[in-house]
């Protein structure tokens, strides 16, 4: 049983460009959350998707957008890249049961470098 | 804003010792907490979780303690091994209008020497 998978592993982009990162949740999970982790810091919450809708959003600008597909996989899009967007982008999947969210397993992340 | 923090940035122990990593949280309404282990270049690995209706939960070689009175969380690792060397984060689950978010502290780096 595969865990959370993310692609690509590494990515190098130029300032002003756009990027799309992908995530497939763990089998049985229906919720995907995205996080940004700068070097030496803890992950920062970007947003959460459930039933193909954005349910919760952190303090990130509108340049960051996402999507969830019917198979629960998700994409993170970042427009007009800035140097400060360089980070490890993490996807976490989880599932809802009885009004509670369970687990939250992370993928290996995508290392984005903006030059 | 509110955040979850760890008491010590680094912890060095000898192989076979028991390790205790501490965490203080500030949101008294938080109902779910998770400990993660993160090795260099990898994503956080789920270790153990605990809900606010519990004080203690045990896993394999790990125990999480939750003290809601003082808003304190700890992770105990028994018989620490070199493979336990990593950065450890506690994360606090907070509720929004329609979803949730994990708030992480800065982490404690555990170094295990043999």
Span B20-77, pLDDT tens digits = 999 998 888 898 999 999 999 899 999 999 999 999 999 999 999 999 999 999 999 9
The closest alpha carbon to A33, from A55, A63, A60, belongs to A55
Q: What is the pLDDT at residue B26?
A: 80
Q: Which residue of A has its CA nearest to B49?
A: A103
Say if residue A97's pLDDT is above 90.
Answer: no
Quick one: closest CA in B to A37, which residue?
A: B43
CB contact under 8 A, A106 and B45: yes
CB contact under 8 A, A104 and B105: no
Quickly state the pLDDT bin for B106 (edges 50, 70, 90).
Answer: confident
Q: What is the mean pLDDT of residues A49-72?
A: 97
A35: nearest Cα among A1, A72, A74: A74
Q: Which CATH class is domain A5-114?
A: mainly beta
| Alpha helices by DSSP H, B53-105 | none
Predicted confidence at residue B7, as pLDDT, reads: 65
B47 contact A CB<8A: no
Sequence ranges of the domains in chain A: 5-114
Q: Based on the structure, what is the number of domains in chain B? A: 1
Ranges A4-13, A48-57, B23-32: which has the least confidence: B23-32
| Chain A CB contacts of B103 below 8 Å | 45
Question: Which CATH number fits the domain that encloses residue B29?
Answer: 2.60.40.10
DSSP letter assigned to residue B17: S
pLDDT of residue B4: 55
Find out whether B104 and A33 touch, Cβ atoms under 8 Å: no
Q: Who's near A15: CB < 8 A, 6+ residues apart?
A: A81, A82, A83, A114, A115
> Which is nearest to B33 in space by CA: B2, B55, B10?
B55
Does residue A100 surpass a pLDDT of 90? Answer: no
Compute how many other C-beta atoms are within 10 angstroms of the C-beta atom of residue B78: 14
Check CB contact under 8 Å for B46 and A106: yes
How far apart are alpha carbons B81 and B35 in whole angstroms? 18
Domain limits at B68?
A: 5-113
Q: Which residues of A touch B57 (CB under 8 A)?
A: none
């Amino acid at each position: 049983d595969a865990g959370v998978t993310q692609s690509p592993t590494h990515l190098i982009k130029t300032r002003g460009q756009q990027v799309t990162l992908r995530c497939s949740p763990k089998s049985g999970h229906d919720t995907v959350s995205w996080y940004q982790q700068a070097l030496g810091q803890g992950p920062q919450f970007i947003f959460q998707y459930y039933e193909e809708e954005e349910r919760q959003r952190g303090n990130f600008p509108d340049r960051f957008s996402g999507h969830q597909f019917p198979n629960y996989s998700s994409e993170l899009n970042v427009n007009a890249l800035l140097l400060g967007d360089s980070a490890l982008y993490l996807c976490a999947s989880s599932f809802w049961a009885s009004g509670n969210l369970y687990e939250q397993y992370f993928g290996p992340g995508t290392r984005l470098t903006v030059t | 804003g509110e955040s979850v923090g760890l008491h010590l940035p680094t912890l060095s122990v000898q192989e076979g010792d028991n390790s205790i990593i501490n965490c203080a949280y500030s949101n008294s309404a938080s109902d779910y907490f998770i400990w993660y282990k993160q090795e260099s270049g990898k994503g956080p690995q789920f270790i153990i979780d605990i809900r606010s209706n519990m004080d203690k939960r045990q896993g394999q070689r790990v125990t999480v303690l939750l003290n809601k009175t003082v808003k304190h969380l700890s992770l105990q690792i028994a018989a620490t091994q070199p493979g336990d060397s990593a950065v450890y984060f506690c994360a606090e689950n907070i509720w929004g209008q329609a979803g949730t978010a994990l708030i992480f502290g800065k982490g404690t780096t555990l170094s295990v020497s043999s």
